[in-house]
């Protein structure tokens, strides 16, 4: 009996990366929306799905406002390093200031899985 030959057109996984986003300064939901809009503004990052938004308590430095968070799944040909650079560039463009570890932030974009 012959063994099955793997298909060259096997289904791709449903996403390439999971991205977590958070904000606890300004219009938090608008910050998340803008970050997602900027991340997916070019054809090399395609939004597959978006979670609902949710609130989370600050961690580490607890004397600050609560965070609003969301997660997205994306398809991208970018390498993990290139995707990280894109995420950090968007954080910088939006005005993120890194003054205090675990401190307040206008936007935080993290690669959760690649």
Q: Which residues contact 104 (CB under 8 A, 6 or more apart)?
A: 24, 25, 61, 64, 65
Which listed residue (16, 38, 86, 105) is catalytic? 105
The question of whether 108 is a catalytic residue gets the answer yes
Q: What is the C-alpha separation between 21 and 71, in angstroms, rounded?
A: 6
Which listed residue (3, 82, 96, 98) is catalytic? 96
* Measured distance between the N- and C-terminal CA atoms of the chain, rounded to whole angstroms: 38
The question of whether 52 is a catalytic residue gets the answer no
Catalytic residue annotation: 96, 105, 108, 110
């Amino acid at each position: 009996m012959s063994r099955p030959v793997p298909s060259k057109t096997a289904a791709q996984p449903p996403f390439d990366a999971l991205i977590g986003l958070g904000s606890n300064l300004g219009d938090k939901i608008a910050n998340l929306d803008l970050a997602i809009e900027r991340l997916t503004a070019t054809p090399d990052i395609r939004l597959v799905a978006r979670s609902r938004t949710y609130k989370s308590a600050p961690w580490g430095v607890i004397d600050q406002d609560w965070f609003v968070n969301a997660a997205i799944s994306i398809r991208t040909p970018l390498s993990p390093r290139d995707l990280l650079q894109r995420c950090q560039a968007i954080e910088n463009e939006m005005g993120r200031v890194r003054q205090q570890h675990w401190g307040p932030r206008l936007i935080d974009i993290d690669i959760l899985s690649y």
